Amino acid sequence: MTDDAAERQMQFLFTLRSRGVTDQRTLEAMERIDRGDFVRGGLFEDRAYDDVPLTISCGQTISQPTVVGIMTQALNVQPRDKVLEIGTGSGYQAAILSLLARRVYTIDRYRRLVAQAREIFDRLGLTNITAIAGDGSFGLSDQAPFDRIIVTAAAEDPPGPLLAQLRIGGIMVLPVGQSDTVQRLIRVTRLERGYDYDELCPVRFVPLIEGMGKE
C-alpha cells in the first residue's frame, strides 16, 4: 500500500468510528473490502473514500460507508450464518457481509448491476456470494429460512415474504418509510411468536420497487 492509500484508509476508518461504527468485526471487514473496487470507472471514482452515497449505473446508488457500517453491525452476523441481501447495487455491502457470514445471497432487479457485481466478486475471490437478478420483495424462498436479512432499498413496511423467510431468532435490518422523505432504519428480530422491532436511526434510501428493472 502506498503512503497515500494508507493515510486514506486510516481516515476512512476514523470517520466510521467517529460516526458510530464501533464493532470490531465490522471495522475489520470494511478495512479489507476496498470501496474503490465498486465505483471504478464510474463518474465518482475519486470520491470512493468519502462518507457519502455515490451514483452508480442504472440510476442507483452505493450507500454511504457509515450507513453500510451501521447496518452491518446491527445485523450482528455470525460465521455460520446464511444471509440474504435485497438490493445488490454495486455489490459493496454484499462483499463486506461475505467476510462475516458463511454464505450471502444478494438480489437486484437490474440484471446489469448483478452482472457487474458478479465480475467484481470473482475478481476479488469472494466465492461465497450468489448474486441473482430478480424481484427481491418476494425474497428467495428456495433458500429460506435465512439467519439474517438486509434490505438496502426502502419499503413502506417490512415486506411479508421477507418476514416469513427469517429464521426464528434471526435478524432483519431495513429502512422503512416513504421514498421521498426521511426513512427510519429498523431492526426486526423474529421471536418464537411474533417479531420484535427496534428503531436505529434516520436514513435515506432509494425505493424498493416491484418487478424487474429495464437494464
Establish if 206 lies at the interface with ligand SAH (CB under 6 A).
Answer: yes
Contacts of 52-59 with C-beta under 8 Å, sequence gap 24+, read: 56/89, 56/90, 56/113, 57/110, 57/112, 57/113, 57/116, 57/215, 58/110, 58/112, 58/113, 58/213, 58/215
Binder of ligand SAH out of 62, 67, 84, 162 (CB under 6 A): 62
Establish if 99 lies at the interface with ligand SAH (CB under 6 A).
Answer: no
Binder of ligand SAH out of 66, 72, 93, 116 (CB under 6 A): 93
Closest CB to ligand SAH among residues 59, 169: 59
57 assigned to active site:
no
Closest CB to ligand SAH among residues 92, 146: 92
Cα separation values, 126 from 95, 122, 131, Å:
7, 6, 11
Q: Which of 99, 29, 90, 83 is nearest to 64 (CA)?
A: 90
Binder of ligand SAH out of 110, 114, 121, 172 (CB under 6 A): 110
Where is 22: in which H helix or E strand? none
Please list the alpha-helical segments (H only) found in the chain: 3-18, 24-32, 65-75, 92-100, 111-124, 160-164
Site for ligand SAH in 123-142 (CB under 6 A): 135-137
Closest CB to ligand SAH among residues 70, 208: 208
Q: How far is the CB of 3 from ligand SAH (least distance, A)?
A: 28
Where is 199: in which H helix or E strand? strand 195-203
Binder of ligand SAH out of 29, 30, 74, 87 (CB under 6 A): 87
Establish if 183 lies at the interface with ligand SAH (CB under 6 A).
Answer: no
Q: How many CB atoms lie within 10 A of CB 197?
A: 12
Residues near ligand SAH (CB under 6 A) are 60-63, 86-87, 89-90, 92-93, 107-110, 113, 135-137, 152-153, 206, 208-210, 213
Residues involved in catalysis = 63
